[in-house]
Amino acid sequence: MEPTKEHLLWMYEQMLVIRNFEETMVNVYLEGKLPPDIQDGLAFDIGSGLVPGEMHLAAGQEPVAVGSCVHLTDNDTITGTHRPHHFAIAKGISLNPLAAEMFGKVTGLGRGKGGHMHLFSLDKKFGCSGIVGAGMPQACGAALAAKKQGKDWVAVTFFGEGAANQGSFHESLNLAAIWNLPVIFICEDNKYAISVTRDESTAIANNADRAVGYGIPGVRVENNDAVEVYDVVGEAVARARRGAGPSLIEVNTDRYLGHFQGDAEAYRPENEVNSLRENDPIDRLQQQLKDGGMSDEEDNQIKERTKAAVQEAYTFARESAYPDASEASLHVFV
Amino acid sequence: MADRELTMAAAISEAIAQEMENDEKVFVMGEDVAKYGGIFGATGGLLDKFGAERVMDTPISETAFIGAATGAAAEGMRPIVELMFVDFFGVCMDQIYNHMAKNTYMSGGNVNLPVVLTTAIGGGYNDAAQHSQCLYSIFAHIPGLKIVVPSNAYDAKGLMIQAIRDDNPVMYFFHKGIMGLPWMAYFTGSTNHVPEESYTIPFGQAKIVQEGTDVTLVTLSQMVHKSTAAAEKLAQDGISVEIIDLRTLVPLDKDTVLNSVRKTGRLCIADEDYLSFGLSGEIAALVAENFDSVKLNSPVKRLAVPDVPIPYSRPLEQTVIPQVEHIESIVRQMMN
Chain B residues with CB under 8 Å of A121 CB are 110
Residues of B in Cβ contact (< 8 Å) with A138:
67-68, 70-71, 74, 95, 99
- Number of domains chain B contains: 2
Same domain, B223 and B165: no
Residue B201 in domain: no
- Does the pLDDT at position B2 exceed 80? no
Q: Do A141 and B251 touch (CB under 8 A)?
A: no
Do B71 and B185 fall within a single domain? yes
Which pLDDT does position B186 carry in this prediction? 82
Chain B 154-213, CB below 8 Å of chain A: which residues?
A: 168
Residue B35 CA, distance from chain mean position: 25
- CA of A148, closest CA in chain B: separation in Å? 8
Tens-place pLDDT, residues A158-168? 999 999 999 99
Residues of A in contact with B111 (CB under 8 A): 120, 122, 127
A246: pLDDT strictly greater than 70 = yes
Name the band, by pLDDT with cuts 50, 70 and 90, for residue B1: low
pTM to 2 decimal places: 0.94
Question: What average pLDDT does the segment A219-244 reach?
Answer: 98
Interchain contact, A141 vs B61, CB within 8 Å: no
Residues in chain A within 8 Å Cβ distance of B106: 110, 113-115, 118, 120
Cβ–Cβ gap A138/B67 under 8 Å: yes
Decide if A184 contacts A233 (C-beta within 8 A).
Answer: yes
Is the pLDDT reported for residue A197 higher than 70? Answer: yes
- Give the residue from B142, B166, B193 where a domain finishes: B193
Residue A59 and residue B286: Cα distance in Å, rounded?
51
- In SS3 terms, chain A reads as CCCCHHHHHHHHHHHHHHHHHHHHHHHHHHCCCCCCCCCCCCCCCCCCCCCCCCCCCCCCCHHHHHHHHCCCCCCCEEECCCCCHHHHHHCCCCHHHHHHHHCCCCCCCCCCCCCCCCCCECCCCEECCCCCCCHHHHHHHHHHHHHHCCCCCCEEEEEEHHHHHCHHHHHHHHHHHHCCCCEEEEEEECCEECCEEHHHHCCCCCHHHHHHHHCCCEEEECCCCHHHHHHHHHHHHHHHHCCCCCEEEEEECCCCCCCCCCCCCCCCCCCHHHHHHCCCHHHHHHHHHHHCCCCHHHHHHHHHHHHHHHHHHHHHHHHCCCCCHHHHHCCCCC
Cis-peptide into A36, omega within 30 deg: yes
Q: Which helix (H) or strand (E) holds B303?
A: strand B301-305
Q: The domain spanning residue B268 has which CATH number?
A: 3.40.50.920
Query: Is the same domain home to B244 and B188?
Result: no
Over residues B146-162, the mean pLDDT reads: 98
Same domain (yes/no): B143, B253 = no
Which domain does A104 fall in, by range? 5-316
Between CA A182 and CA A166 the distance in angstroms is 21
Residues B97 and B24 in one domain: yes
| B167 lies in the same domain as B227 | no
**A297 part of a folded domain:** yes
Asked whether residue B19 is assigned to any structural domain, the reply reads yes
Q: d(Cα A49, Cα A37) in Å, to the nearest integer?
A: 9
The distance of B31 to chain A (nearest Cα, Å) reads: 13
Contact B64 A175 (CB under 8 A): yes
CATH number at residue A55: 3.40.50.970
B108 has a chain A CB within 8 A of its CB = yes
- Residue contact B110–A120, C-beta within 8 A: yes
Band (B187; pLDDT cuts 50, 70, 90): confident
Residues in chain A: 334
Q: Indicate yes or no: CB of A137 within 8 angstroms of CB of B110.
A: no
Determine how many CB atoms are found less than 10 A away from the CB of residue B228. 21
Kindly state whether B66 is in contact with chain A, defined as any CB-CB distance less than 8 angstroms.
yes
Task: Give me the pLDDT at residue A1, please.
Answer: 87
Q: What is the DSSP letter of B97?
A: I
In A, minimum Cα distance to B58 occurs at A175
In a domain, A100, yes or no: yes
User: What digits encode the pLDDT tens for the residues B296-319?
Assistant: 999 999 999 999 999 999 999 999
CA-CA distance, A159 to A80, in Å (whole number)?
A: 7
Owning domain of residue B152: 5-193
Within this chain, do residues B25 and B158 fall inside the same structural domain, yes or no? yes
> Nearest Cα to B242, choosing from B279, B210, B269?
B210
On the question of pLDDT at A278 being above 80, the answer is yes
Any catalytic annotation for residue B141? Answer: no
Residue B152 and residue B236 share a domain: no
Q: How many domains does chain A have?
A: 1
Q: What is the mean pLDDT of residues A127-142?
A: 97
Q: Are residues B225 and B132 in the same domain?
A: no
B59 pLDDT above the threshold of 70: yes
State the nearest Cα–Cα gap between B78 and chain A, in angstroms.
Answer: 10
Angle between helices A62-69 and A281-291 (to 10 degrees): 50
Å from A95 to nearest chain B CA?
16
Q: What is the CATH number of the domain that holds B146?
A: 3.40.50.970
**CB contact (8 A) between residue B111 and residue A127:** yes
pLDDT score, position B185: 87
In a domain, A12, yes or no: yes
The predicted-structure confidence for B224-266, as pLDDT tens digits, reads as follows 999 999 999 999 999 999 999 999 999 999 999 999 999 999 9
The answer to whether residues B110 and B256 belong to one domain is no
Mean pLDDT across A71-97? 98
